[in-house]
């Protein structure tokens, strides 16, 4: 009987320990997707396939973005303009909040 109780207790501890890192993620923590920019093209992999993907560009002039849509295979490529100083490209979730200022980042490069 002690072995059974010990096994049940150990199983419960392991379940909590493995779930804790996922529960600790914040709303804007990046998903484990990849992003590469090369020759005027931003490519992302491992994007979610069950929600809308938007694209954001942030440079010295501010942030702009647009809706891409859904991806069936988790990849997306976007033609990007010439960089205007330090530039960040982000594949993000549907936006919410004032002027769409809040979103979850899936991939950033």
Per-residue model confidence as pLDDT tens digits over 56-101: 999 999 999 999 999 999 999 999 988 889 999 999 999 999 988 8
Q: Determine the pLDDT at residue 99.
A: 87
Dihedral of the alpha carbons of 64, 70, 72, 78, in degrees to the nearest 10? -20
Where b means 16+ CB within 10 Å and e means fewer, 10-24 reads eeeeeeeeeeeeeee
Q: Determine the pLDDT at residue 68.
A: 97
pLDDT (mean) for 26-30: 47
The CA-CA-CA angle for residues 87, 37, 48, to 5°, reads 100
On whether the CB atoms of residues 60 and 99 are closer than 8 A, the answer is no
- Reply yes or no on whether the pLDDT at 14 is more than 50: no
Q: Domain 26-108 falls in which CATH fold?
A: Immunoglobulin-like (2.60.40)
Question: pTM for the whole thing?
Answer: 0.69
- Reply yes or no on whether the pLDDT at 12 is more than 50: no
Place of tokens 């709303």: 27
């Amino acid at each position: 009987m002690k072995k059974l109780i010990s096994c049940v207790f150990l199983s419960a501890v392991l379940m909590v320990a493995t779930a804790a890192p996922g529960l600790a993620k914040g709303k804007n923590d990046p998903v484990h997707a990849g992003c590469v920019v090369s020759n005027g093209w931003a490519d992302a992999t491992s994007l979610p396939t069950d929600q809308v993907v938007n694209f954001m560009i942030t440079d010295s002039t501010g942030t702009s973005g647009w809706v891409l849509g859904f991806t069936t295979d988790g990849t997306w490529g976007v033609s990007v303009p010439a960089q205007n100083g330090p530039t960040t490209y982000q594949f993000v979730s549907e936006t919410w909040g004032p002027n769409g200022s809040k979103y979850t980042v899936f991939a950033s490069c």
